[in-house]
Amino acid sequence: MLRRLWKRHVTGRPDQYQAYVSFPPTTDGTPVANAHDWIEELEYTFEGRLDVYARFQGIAVVTDRVPADEFDAATFETILDRLEDAYTGTHRLVRLEKWRPIDDSLVRSYVVVPVKPLFPSDSAERPEMAPSSTE
């Protein structure tokens, strides 16, 4: 227990890494053209330890746990930055990180999902509000 706390809070270095990345279709319903390239890069980053699932609303990639010394965090962040750029204007990239103790190891898990915002980001796209009457 103390070893895991030390690794997490003091060193910031887990024993293993794992990720779930979702690729939803674009607004017209077609898959994102670069998904194949991103999946290939994720496969390289996670040493080929991943599964690709066809979902009703896109594609999902789930990786196995990879030892920290085999994981390239910089490449992973680059992939996420390019993914975020590709969905700019239609989705926001949600990135969640969780540290978990699994099988006597400390695992850093990522969940990355592009999500459509509830409200438009540009004020020109927002409908005009009718003035309310206070009678």
Q: Please say if the pLDDT value at position 8 is more than 60.
A: no
pLDDT digits (tens, 9 = 90+) for 84-103: 888 887 888 899 998 888 88
**Chain mean pLDDT for the chain:** 78
Contact in structure between 93 and 114 (CB atoms under 8 Å):
yes
Collapse the DSSP code of 60 into the 3-class scheme (helix H, G, I; strand E, B; otherwise coil) and give the result: strand
The C-alpha atoms of residue 125 and residue 45 are separated, in whole angstroms, by 39
Q: Please say if the pLDDT value at position 68 is more than 80.
A: yes
Collapse the DSSP code of 44 into the 3-class scheme (helix H, G, I; strand E, B; otherwise coil) and give the result: helix
Residue 126 lies in a domain: no
pTM of the model: 0.73
Q: What percent of the chain has pLDDT over 90?
A: 20
The C-alpha atoms of residue 112 and residue 93 are separated, in whole angstroms, by 7
Structural domain for 107, as ranges: 2-117
Q: What percent of the chain has pLDDT over 70?
A: 73
Residue 128 lies in a domain: no
Residue 129 lies in a domain: no
Number of domains in the chain: 1
